[in-house]
Amino acid sequence: MQKVLDCIQELQLPKPLEFRNVRKISVLRDRRRQDLLTNQTVGFVPTMGALHEGHLSLIRQAARENTRVYVSTYVNPTQFGVNEDFDSYPNTWVEDQAKLTAVFHELTQDEYVGQIATVFQPGTNKMYPGLPPTSEINGDGSFVTITPLSTLLEGASRPVFFRGVATVCMKLLNIVQPERVYFGQKDIQQTLVIKRMVEDFHLNTEVRVVPTLREKDGLAMSSRNVYLGTRRRAVAPVLQRALQAIQNASADGIRTRKDLLAAAFLLTSSVQQTQRNLPPSERAMFEVDYFSIADPRTMTELDEVKAEDHPIISGAITMLPILEPRKGENLGLGDAKTGVRLIDNIRLDILAAKLSLTDHEQ
């Protein structure tokens, strides 16, 4: 086995000296073919650009496990609902290039076997060659639908979202044909939809899931955080704290869904009340979309939690528009005129909360 590995190593080319931005599908395919013929392994990181450290952690992971990393930065129209923020989604090409270049230099270190080789930014007319892409639920086109997973939680709030995600990932995976594809735990339901799709459609790739990267105060990094501005940003960690409140309730021995969820709602209600008590020029209000305690494979809700279930606690809130901006206030991209939807999840860890010890003592 070692001989085979040494042989492969010898056949491999050195790391590329720069990455190439590619728009054309045919060029991407040529590069992929070359990589195949020279025994490279390809790890693929699909993104919608507006890169942050969370995205970069996916790239680093891909570079630990593959010799060539392909990144896409395509903002896919079909996963945005009709009234969602497709038109205003942050477009940060220059900043993205700078971040990719910085990571490229970092990946020259020996701890990484791989390097960014290709950054793919296809045009929408090429990605959707048949009909113009639609965000209508009953719109025409070629789509991949994964049910019932796509109808739950995020799918219940955003009916076309997972159809769009599965469709664009099917297209990208058919084009890139990576050995491995990398997704963030932050979008846990997305990882399950993609895993289901890969298995059901016999796609020849391994789905790898990378932990969520957070800001110091617990807020999960997200391209949409730039919309928050200072005031909403200060309140936004309430989502992570609510998930933590569920974890803490389980440490107190609470096992039923109803009582665990109550812990999250208690916390969010108290923060909402605090904000309501502030003058309108200082408050940042939010609405809870859902909290969920679900089976990690199917995302179906659990009525009672057990350690062996390894449940996923997830939630979504919308930070509401700022109604009374102050003069000179940093309102973030878009001037805080629209709501910002935030999602997050953690794995409920009953054992880490030492519940078996408490049970034993009782």
Residues acting as catalytic residues: 55
Q: How far apart are CA 114 and CA 13, in angstroms?
A: 11
Q: How far is the CB of 262 from ligand AMP (least distance, A)?
A: 28
169 makes contact with ligand AMP (CB under 6 A): no
Q: Are 79 and 32 in contact (CB under 8 A)?
A: no
Among 48, 226, 307, 333, binds ligand AMP (CB under 6 A): 48
- Reading the block at residue 99, the tokens are 């971040």
57 makes contact with ligand AMP (CB under 6 A): yes
Q: Are 316 and 189 in contact (CB under 8 A)?
A: no
43 makes contact with ligand AMP (CB under 6 A): no
Q: Are 146 and 200 in contact (CB under 8 A)?
A: yes
Among 42, 59, 221, 342, binds ligand AMP (CB under 6 A): 221
Give residue 238's Cα distance to chain centre: 19
Q: Which is nearer to ligand AMP, 162 or 350 (CB)?
A: 162
Q: How far is the CB of 57 from ligand AMP (least distance, A)?
A: 6
Among 35, 96, 179, 187, binds ligand AMP (CB under 6 A): 187
Q: Which is nearer to ligand AMP, 19 or 80 (CB)?
A: 80
Among 62, 198, 210, 346, binds ligand AMP (CB under 6 A): 210
CA dist list (Å): 14 to 9, 38, 103, 110, 333: 10, 11, 17, 12, 41
Contacts 24+ apart (CB under 8 A), 94-103: 95/51, 96/49, 96/50, 96/51, 97/21, 99/51, 99/56, 100/19, 100/51, 100/59, 100/71, 103/56, 103/59, 103/60
Q: How far is the CB of 218 from ligand AMP (least distance, A)?
A: 11
Q: How far is the CB of 224 from ligand AMP (least distance, A)?
A: 8
Q: How far apart are CA 252 and CA 249, in angstroms?
A: 5
Nearest CA among 41, 250, 291, 332 for reference residue 154: 291
Among 72, 78, 222, 345, binds ligand AMP (CB under 6 A): 222
Q: How far is the CB of 211 from ligand AMP (least distance, A)?
A: 7
One-letter amino acid at 348 equals L
Among 43, 178, 184, 237, binds ligand AMP (CB under 6 A): 184
**Coil, helix or strand for 346?**
strand
Nearest CA among 57, 12, 23, 56 for reference residue 175: 23
Stretch of 184-192, 257-265, 282-290, 340-348 contacting ligand AMP, by CB under 6 A: 184-192
Among 220, 246, 260, 322, binds ligand AMP (CB under 6 A): 220
Report how many residues bind ligand AMP under the rule CB under 6 A.
17
Q: How far is the CB of 98 from ligand AMP (least distance, A)?
A: 17
231 makes contact with ligand AMP (CB under 6 A): no
212 makes contact with ligand AMP (CB under 6 A): yes
What character string, x for contact with ligand AMP (CB under 6 A) and - otherwise, covers 116-135?
Answer: --------------------
Q: How far apart are CA 117 and CA 13, in angstroms?
A: 12
Q: Are 301 and 257 in contact (CB under 8 A)?
A: yes
Q: How far is the CB of 47 from ligand AMP (least distance, A)?
A: 4
Residue keyed to tokens 């955003």 = 158
77 makes contact with ligand AMP (CB under 6 A): no
Among 16, 54, 164, 237, binds ligand AMP (CB under 6 A): 54
Count CB neighbours of 77 within 10 A.
18
186 makes contact with ligand AMP (CB under 6 A): yes
Nearest CA among 344, 324, 343, 322 for reference residue 333: 322
Binding residues (CB under 6 A) for ligand AMP: these are 47-48, 54-55, 57-58, 183-184, 186-187, 210, 212-213, 220-223
